[in-house]
Every structure is written in C-alpha cells, then in structure tokens.
C-alpha cells in the first residue's frame, strides 16, 4: 500500500488515475486542483499563448483586412438583400448596438443600397469575392496557429470559399430574424435566439471547416461558446464606449472620426474571434491536463489536444 501511494502517478487519457485508486496523491497529481488554481493556470496558459500568437497584432490585421476585403462584398450583399432598406449600414449599427445620432453618423458613411447595386459590375463583384476569400484565409491561419497545426495545402482553398458563403448566410439569417413577428413581444426573443444560437453553431462549424477536420468537434465547442460570449460583451462595451465616441469624433473630425471608431470596433471583433478560439483551446488543453507551454510554430509531427486527422485513427491518448 505504501509503495503504491508513494510512486508517481501518470495521468490517463483524460487526466484520470489509471489505477482507479482514487487516492489524494493521485487526484492532486492528475490535475484535480481547486477551481481557483485551475482558473489561474488556464489564465496563464491563455495569456502565454496569446503573446506567442501576437493576438493584438492579429486582431489589427483582421480589422484591416475586413475593412479592405470583406466590407465591400458585404455592402453589395446587403444592398441586394430585401430585408433591410438601409443595407450594410444597418448591419454595422446592429453590431455596434447604437441608435440615434451615432447610428445616423454610421449610416452617412455608406452609400444607399441602390447606388451600391447600380455601380457594381460583374468584374468588380468577382474581385470582391476573391478578396473575401483572402480574408477567410487569414482567419484560417489564425485558427491553425492557435491549435498549433501546420498550414493546410493550397488546394484546400475551397474551404475558405465555403466559409465565406456561410458567413454571408449567417449575417443574412441574423438580419432576416428581425422580420417574423415584428411588433410582437416574441419577436425580440426570436431575434436574440437566432443571433446567439446561429452564432454558436457558426463559430463551432467554421473552426471545424477551416481546420480541415483535424480537430474534433467536442474540442472546438468551448471556443465557439467563448467567442459568442465575447461578442456579446463587445456589444455591451460598444453601447457604453463607442456610441459617445462616434458622436464626439464626428463633430471633431467629420466622417473620418466615425471611420476610426468603426475600425476600432472591427479590431474588437477580431480580438474576440481569435481570443475566443484561444480561450477554448486553453479550456480543452486544461481538461486534458496537458500543460504544454510550447512555441506556436511547431513542426508537422505535433498533434494538439483534440487533434484528429481525417481518415486516420486518433492518437492513443485521445481515445
């Protein structure tokens, strides 16, 4: 008995004591620490990997690419949508959660839907679609860095195109959810459910798609929950901080002041998209009790927690 309890206990596939003895030593060494210590360890892991990932720089790159490559496509799509008469401006206003004078300042940034459609040609539409795919490529690269995976081969670019189409579909569905039951008490509940539920499914599925099925569904779910929760927090922050900033910047700097606030909001969106996935990765890594403080740029043979290569059996420790 004494010899058994004194020897080191190796955590099992899920951080469990493989002997089943349930001793206090085995429990402590298998990672079953108090919640306060687990939370602190999770925060340290996420902070360290966020620094390795250069999360703020990546969020700024996300915002710049979105403004240059994605927004032109969304302006055309929103103009063609029969749901909102004000087009893409209403989408931004809904995302910022502003109303009144700040909403009018944002609306003045974008042309009317009719003007957007009249000035769009087939060549320009093809160009903005191509630019949108490059934006999804940047998102894919961020997810791969978070999960410490090698880059996908070039012929997997079709996943980025499908991801772009899914993003547009989600935005259209979220916009359409304001129409059914308009003026009734149930309409806000339906709209909120569509945004949150649809967002959870979208961010869960888009990680799986862009990562090429190399990470399991259950490993990606915490990241989807964290991303949606962070986006809700960003919307609250926008109402409290960005709304008065839009008014003051519009008065001080004109339209460019409003652009700066919208760009700052896009940085926040990028931070939540990558930060949510990073937090989900940290939660999954902590669940497996794999305290791996490794650099992000690992070689191709590394397999992260939750890794599963399509068409192959998962590693023994993931079973």
Q: Nearest Cα to 53, choosing from 278, 222, 273?
A: 278
| pLDDT at site 11 | 42
As a whole number of angstroms, the distance between CA 73 and CA 128 comes to 5
Is the distance from CB of 75 to CB of 87 less than 8 angstroms?
Answer: yes
Record the tokens describing residue 176, joined without a space: 């359409």
**So what's the pLDDT on residue 35?**
66
Residue 276 near residue 64, CB atoms below 8 Å: no
Domain ranges of the chain: 42-287+306-314
pLDDT of residue 319: 43
- Would you state the pLDDT for residue 83? 63
pLDDT at 136: 95
CA separation for the pair 174, 171 (Å, rounded): 5
pLDDT at 304: 54
Is residue 215 classed as helix, strand or coil in its secondary structure?
strand
Closest CA to 116 of 88, 83, 154: 88
Query: Residue 295's pLDDT is what?
Result: 44
What's the pLDDT score for residue 172? 87
- What six digits make up the tokens of 318? 């993931």
> What pLDDT is stored for residue 285 in this prediction?
81
Model confidence, pTM: 0.75
Q: Over the stretch 121-162, which tens digit does the pLDDT of each residue have?
A: 888 888 889 999 999 999 999 999 999 999 999 888 999 999
Q: Which residues of the chain have pLDDT under 50?
A: 1-31, 289-302, 313-314, 316-319
The token duo for 270 is: 């990028």
Q: Which of 218, 179, 210, 187 lies closest to 273, judged by CA?
A: 210
Within 10 angstroms of residue 121's Cβ, the number of other Cβ atoms is 8
Helix (H, G, I), strand (E, B) or coil at 307: strand
């Amino acid at each position: 008995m004494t010899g058994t309890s004194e020897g080191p206990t190796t955590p099992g596939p899920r951080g469990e004591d493989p002997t089943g003895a349930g001793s206090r030593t085995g429990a402590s060494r298998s990672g079953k620490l108090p919640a306060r210590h687990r939370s602190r360890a999770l925060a340290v892991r996420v902070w360290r990997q966020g620094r390795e990932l250069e999360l703020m720089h990546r969020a700024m790159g996300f915002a710049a690419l979105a403004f240059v490559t994605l927004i032109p496509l969304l302006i055309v799509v929103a103009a063609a949508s029969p749901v909102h008469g004000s087009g893409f401006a209403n989408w931004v206003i809904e995302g910022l959660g502003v109303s009144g004078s700040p909403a009018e300042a944002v609306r003045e940034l974008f042309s009317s839907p009719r003007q957007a459609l009249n000035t769009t040609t087939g060549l320009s539409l093809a160009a903005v679609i191509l630019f949108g795919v490059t934006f999804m490529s940047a998102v894919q690269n961020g997810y791969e860095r978070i999960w410490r995976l090698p880059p996908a081969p070039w012929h997997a670019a079709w996943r980025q195109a499908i991801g772009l189409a899914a993003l547009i579909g989600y935005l259209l569905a979220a916009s359409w959810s304001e129409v059914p039951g308009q003026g009734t008490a149930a309409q806000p509940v339906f709209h909120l459910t569509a945004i949150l539920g649809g967002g959870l499914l979208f961010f869960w599925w888009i990680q799986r798609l862009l990562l090429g099925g190399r990470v399991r569904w259950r490993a990606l779910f915490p990241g989807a929950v964290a991303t949606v929760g962070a986006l809700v927090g960003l919307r609250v922050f926008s109402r409290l901080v960005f709304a008065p900033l839009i008014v003051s910047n519009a008065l001080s700097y004109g339209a460019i002041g409003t652009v700066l606030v919208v760009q700052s909001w896009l940085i926040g969106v990028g931070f939540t998209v990558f930060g949510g996935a990073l937090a989900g990765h940290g939660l999954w890594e902590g669940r497996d009790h794999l305290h791996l403080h490794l650099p992000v740029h690992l070689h191709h043979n590394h397999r992260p927690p939750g890794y599963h290569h399509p068409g192959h059996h998962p590693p023994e420790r993931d079973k």
